[in-house]
Amino acid sequence: MSDVTLPHAKPMIERRWSETVWSYVTWAALAIALVWSWGPAEMGRWTYLFTDADNMAQYASGFLSPDFKDWNYYVGEMIVTVQIALWGTVLATILAVPFGILSASNMTPWYIRQPTRRLMDMFRAIHEVVFAVLFVVAVGLGPFAGVMALFIHTTGILAKLFSEAVEAIDPRPVEAIRATGASKLQEVVYGVIPQVLPLWMSYTLYRFESNVRAATILGLIGAGGIGQVMFETIRGFYYSQAAAVLILVVLTVILTDLLSQQLRKRVT
């Protein structure tokens, strides 16, 4: 019995040994990277968190008495922020579906897949704030610049997630549809999309939740919404009003998170 199982056990032992070695190498590389980046990241300044604690406490004390006198104005701007995130996410989802399929290794040849992936890399590599600055210059101040910034950046992210979902599908349904003489489009519509649709919807809802937060930041550079109000109150040292805005932002993100969780449970 031992003579029969020994040849099969040897490759298994070698594979486990190789995995162990690579695990140690990975952790060692991470440790080296952390040491290497300690100085450039100025991690030695962590002591400032404690030596300047009094200054931080004095600054934070200004936020302890939120002023909701203009709550209706704040709520209106918060709604605009959510609308910016909604439009940016929906437009990105529409474009990410074809780009995600074209980026999947099991769907397209390399000469289509590689240029598409590099384009999506560019969309993801450039931050929403940079896109917002460009669109503010192009179309002017206001929410539309924020929508376009979220649209471009989110397209790159969702296309990446969508393509990975497509690459993980069960190929048998697609092969069965292909055997009937179906076209490539029919293979995608009837063999691929039904398998990945729940995951795609989950990714989209998560990105909408993230985009609500991102849209708040875009307001700081003139892309409309509650972020612009936040920037003006902090810059003007109106800490009570700024505290009210921050509380409203936190509550909106919490509500969006709860809603997104419920929707994801129903689509997955």
> How far is C-alpha 29 from the geometric centre of its chain's CA atoms?
26
Confidence of residue 13 (pLDDT cuts 50, 70, 90): low
Tokens of 100: 């995600």
Span 23-34, mean pLDDT? Answer: 90
Whether the predicted pLDDT of 3 surpasses 60: no
Report the CATH architecture of 66-267: Orthogonal Bundle (1.10)
Distance CA 78, CA 227 (A): 8
Q: How many other CB atoms are there within 10 angstroms of residue 167's CB atom?
A: 14
Whether the predicted pLDDT of 156 surpasses 90: yes
Q: In one letter, which amino acid is 219? A: G
Break the chain into its structural domains and give their ranges: 2-44, 66-267
Contact 177, 128 (CB under 8 A): no
pLDDT at 1: 45
**Terminal Cα distance for the chain, rounded:** 47
Whether the predicted pLDDT of 56 surpasses 70: no
Long-range CB pairs of 55-64, under 8 A, 24+ apart, other chains included: 62/237, 62/239, 62/240, 62/243, 63/239, 63/240, 63/242, 63/243, 63/246, 64/243
The structure tokens 């929707």 sit at 263
| Average pLDDT score, the chain | 85
- Dump pLDDT digits (tens) for 31-52: 999 999 988 888 888 777 777 6
pLDDT at 58: 65
Distance CA 263, CA 205 (A): 8
pTM: predicted TM-score of the whole model, two decimal places: 0.79
142: left (phi over 0), alpha (psi -120 to 50) or beta: left
Distance CA 159, CA 200 (A): 10
Tokens of 208: 């909408």
Whether the predicted pLDDT of 2 surpasses 50: no
Smallest CA-to-CA distance from 101 within 178, 32, 171, 193 is with 193
